[in-house]
Amino acid sequence: MKMKRIIMGTIFIIAGVAHFLKPEKFANITPRFLPFRTFIAYFTGVVELLFGMLLLTRKVTNWQLGAMQKFLWAVFPANIYMYTHQDKLGISHLPDWALLGRLPLQKVMSDTLEDMKR
C-alpha cells in the first residue's frame, strides 16, 4: 500500500510541476469551448501537486481517493484531444504509442486509487 502511495504521489507531483513549466502546452489541450484555458492549466497543476503531496505525506481517506479518481476522469478528454489533434498541437513528432498510452494509464491510475481505499 505504501509503495502505491509513493508511486501515485510522485506521478501527480511530476504532472503538476509540468503544468507550471509548460503552461501553454496544457492550455492548448484544454477544450476550446472552455474560457480561461491558461488558468485551467495552472489550476489543474495545483490540484495535481496537492494530490501528490497528500499521497506522500499522510494516509488519505476514501473520500480523497475518490476525488482523485474523479479528477483523473475529468481531465481524460484532454488526453483524447492530444491524440486526435497532434498536428494542431505541434506534437506530431511524438510516437503514437506515447499518446495512446496515456489513455489506459488513466484507467490504471484510477484502479490503483480504488485499490487503496479501505
- The whole-model pTM stands at 0.87
Q: What's the confidence (pLDDT) of residue 17?
A: 97
Q: What's the confidence (pLDDT) of residue 30?
A: 87
Contact 117, 5 (CB under 8 A): no
One digit per residue, pLDDT tens: the chain, 118 residues?
689 999 999 999 999 999 999 899 889 888 888 899 999 999 999 999 999 999 999 889 999 999 999 999 999 888 888 888 877 777 777 788 888 888 888 999 999 999 999 7
Domain ranges for the chain: 2-116
